[in-house]
């Protein structure tokens, strides 16, 4: 019988600047912004399990953990987890990091090849604002 466990790994512990650099960012009011988020990792050819990319941030209302993307991996080497998320933020972002939750039988060795957190394109952001009206 197999026993799966959850393991958490920080991929990038300083993505606060990317969030506070959004054109709608405010230090005193609630604001919304669209962000492009991705992580490309190598899990090893013998790895099998579930990967979940998460963005964790802290603002004026406390700590938030947002699921970005997830996938099942069976004997695969490279995995790209990516998404665009609209986030509601209250005031200043004091901490933000990108992490991955791994559910597998044994603790994996993941290698981060590339990660990105940045404001999404203005065209998409503007479209979402118009659609919300």
Q: 94-114 b/e with 16+ CB inside 10 Å = b?
A: eebbbbbbbebeeebebeeee
Q: pTM for this structure?
A: 0.84
Residue 125 neighbours by CB under 8 Å, 6+ apart: 23, 33, 34, 119
For residue 99, the model assigns a pLDDT of 96
Domains and CATH numbers, the chain: 5-132 (2.60.120)
pLDDT value at residue 15? 92
pLDDT one digit per residue (tens) for the chain, 133 residues: 468 899 999 999 989 998 988 888 888 899 999 999 999 999 877 888 899 999 999 999 999 999 999 999 887 778 999 999 999 999 999 999 999 999 998 778 889 999 999 998 756 556 566 666 5
Tokens of 133: 């009206």
Q: What is the pLDDT of residue 106?
A: 79
């Amino acid at each position: 019988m197999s026993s799966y466990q959850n393991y958490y790994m920080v991929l990038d512990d300083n993505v606060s600047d990317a969030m506070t650099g959004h054109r709608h960012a405010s230090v005193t009011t609630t604001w919304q912004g669209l962000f492009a988020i991705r992580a490309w990792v190598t899990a090893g050819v013998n790895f099998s399990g579930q990967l979940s990319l998460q963005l964790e941030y802290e603002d004026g209302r406390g700590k938030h953990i947002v699921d970005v993307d997830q996938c099942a991996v069976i004997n695969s080497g490279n995995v790209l987890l990516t998404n665009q998320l609209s986030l509601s933020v209250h005031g200043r972002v004091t901490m933000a990091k990108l992490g991955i939750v791994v559910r597998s039988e044994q603790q994996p060795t993941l290698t981060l090849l590339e990660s990105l957190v940045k404001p999404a394109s203005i065209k998409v952001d503007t479209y979402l604002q118009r659609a919300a009206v």
